[in-house]
Amino acid sequence: MRPDLSGIDPLELNLATRFSVGDMLTRSTQLFGGRTAIVDGEEEVTYARLDAAAEAFGRGLLDAGVQHQEPVAFLLGNSWRFAASFFGCAKAGLVALPVNLMLAPEDVAWILADSGTRIVVADPVFLPLLEAVLPALPAITQVVVTGDDVPAQVAGRDTVRWDDVATDPTPVRVLVDDRDTLHCLYTSGTTARPKGVLTSHLAVHVGVLSNALQVGHRRGDEHSVLPIVLPLFHTTALDTLLLPVLLTGGTAVLPRGFEPEGFLEVVERRRATHLMLLPMMYAALLASPGIGTRDLSSVRLCIYAMAPMPQERITAIAAAFPSAQVLLGSGQTECVPATVFQWPSHQETKAASWGPSTVTVDTQVMDPGGNLLPPGETGEIVYRGPHVMSGYWNNPAANTAAFAHGWFHSGDVGHLDDEGVVWFTDRVKDMVKTGGENVSSVEVERVLLASPEIVEAAVIGVPDDRWGEAVTGVVVPADPGTDPAALAERLLAHCRAHLAGFQVPKRIEVRTGLPKTATGKIQKHELRDEFRG
């Protein structure tokens, strides 16, 4: 049974019934127009202003000739203009492509080339980066720059001020399909090159509804206040922090960076209701003098991510935020987080678990042959549900592998217990998670191996209180007589010259050989076991 809709203009039908993330902001503005949507440093931006700016920016991009479903790359730090740019793209049917600002210039250049980007939106602070990469990117013809004092050109391309793009706030009227791509977020490239993850309006909107339900956002008489210090170019901050709070008419606070004392001051002054921080950030808060003197009673939920925390730290957080539950949430770029999320009771009984599936996610464990495994058996964690990505950009082979056997393959290894709680064991690949960033061990190894002084390299993550995991390199010198300490120093300097700061190993060990399989593959798990010990 399908209705006969032949008498209706397709655009009008789309406007009346679609599932678009751009409309999310329209609706919150409808009810909460005068309320503060975003606190950017000390600037308070209302829903009405944010929505008008987003409509105007989207309209301006279309007027500038950006085509339906074309990528718009962001080199933008956390700010209200990031949100306005994002919603402008959503409203206009364009693909927001926020670039990871911690990447090395060659990775940024690779992403801009791979995505076919023609237009970049940048904060002034990233213009030197653009100067460096644009010469090799002839396709990029338009550069939009936030701020007032903008050079006329960057690397020979004309620039335009963000405010001069966003001039006409008349609502954009374009057809946006539920499964149109909303954003493209590149993975940090576990094995080789970063992959562009395409996610639809439908996936993100479902993920955001599911997240709001999970974390207990209220809407109406009460609303949430959520300080965001994680970068908005990541799915965590964008899809599980910013969007759910704006869906429900709350206030997102964007402090300038993370500094414990200042952060606690923001929590107290803004009456924050939810926090989401990395374990090392909670550790820093607990070590801060303000933790004992500030009124932190407004906080209802302290979410942590990336890695389980020691029980003492969880207990200390619960004591410091007397009205709050402390829960772990997990997810990944390919499956709009949070995919699995602890319940309060899990902190007492299963604190080291990841918790069970969120409401629109089906989680299972699969063997390499595509068979689902019973509780207790270890295999690859796989997901089903509407918030799974649409697919990788420009990479059919990766898509075929990711969706094998009718499930999305997470690349994580673990098991379910008999209550459906996910227990994570290890990564299928050997990504190192350090300080909230994903580091490709292969990428660091590639840089190390570019040095003529070594012949073999393996990079692993070693458990570390401060970083979660410390990037650790293990190398074999070309000349066995080389002084190990001096070699390590030279290699570290080499890494600093070719890698982003977070990718540089915290430590380099020199060995005479590496453990290998019969076929010559380096056995990283053996190295990990050794370094853990």
Question: Which position among 242, 285, 324, 361 is part of the footprint of a second copy (CB under 8 A)?
Answer: 361
Q: Where are the extended beta strands (E) located within 79-147?
A: 95-98, 119-122, 142-145
User: Among residues 8 and 319, whose Cβ is nearest to a second copy?
Assistant: 8
Distance between CA atoms of residues 120 and 134, nearest Å: 10
Least distance (Å) between residue 11 CB and a second copy: 7
Least distance (Å) between residue 417 CB and a second copy: 11
DSSP run (H or E) holding 274: strand 274-277
Q: Give the binding range for a second copy (CB under 8 A) out of 206-214, 448-456, 460-468, 488-496.
A: 206-214
User: Among residues 233 and 383, whose Cβ is nearest to a second copy?
Assistant: 383
Question: Which position among 256, 269, 271, 405 is part of the footprint of a second copy (CB under 8 A)?
Answer: 405
Please choose, from the candidates 88, 97, 74, the residue with its C-alpha nearest in 3D space to the C-alpha of residue 26. 88
Please choose, from the candidates 262, 194, 257, the residue with its C-alpha nearest in 3D space to the C-alpha of residue 230. 257
Question: What is each CA distance from 204 to 54, 125, 201, 385, 430, in whole angstroms?
Answer: 18, 29, 5, 12, 27
Question: Which position among 35, 157, 219, 446 is part of the footprint of a second copy (CB under 8 A)?
Answer: 219
Over the Cα atoms of the chain, what is R_g? Answer: 24
Q: Which of residues 267-286 bind a second copy (CB under 8 A)?
A: none
Contact characters 53-72, a second copy, x per CB under 8 A? ----------------xxx-
Question: Which position among 369, 406, 513, 533 is part of the footprint of a second copy (CB under 8 A)?
Answer: 406
Please tell me the count of residues contacting a second copy according to CB under 8 A. 81
Least distance (Å) between residue 165 CB and a second copy: 21
Q: Which residues touch 221 (CB under 8 Å, ≥6 apart)?
A: none
* Residue 357 binding a second copy, by CB under 8 A: yes
* Residue 179 binding a second copy, by CB under 8 A: yes
Least distance (Å) between residue 1 CB and a second copy: 5
* Residue 343 binding a second copy, by CB under 8 A: yes
Name beta bridge partners: 468: 464
Question: What is each CA distance from 115 to 45, 69, 88, 97, 168, in whole angstroms?
Answer: 32, 12, 19, 9, 28
* Residue 356 binding a second copy, by CB under 8 A: yes
Q: Which of residues 376-395 bind a second copy (CB under 8 A)?
A: 383-386, 388, 390-395
Q: Which of residues 2-31 bind a second copy (CB under 8 A)?
A: 2-9, 11-13, 15-19, 23, 26-27, 30-31
User: Among residues 89 and 143, whose Cβ is nearest to a second copy?
Assistant: 89
Distance between CA atoms of residues 183 and 85, nearest Å: 12
User: Among residues 357 and 440, whose Cβ is nearest to a second copy?
Assistant: 357
Contact characters 100-119, a second copy, x per CB under 8 A? ---------------xx---
Are 375 and 415 a contacting pair, CB within 8 Å?
yes
Distance between CA atoms of residues 523 and 515, nearest Å: 6
Are 172 and 55 a contacting pair, CB within 8 Å?
yes
User: Among residues 11 and 497, whose Cβ is nearest to a second copy?
Assistant: 11
Q: Which residues touch 93 (CB under 8 Å, ≥6 apart)?
A: 68, 69, 174, 175, 176, 180
Least distance (Å) between residue 57 CB and a second copy: 19
Tokens encoding 295: 């009124």
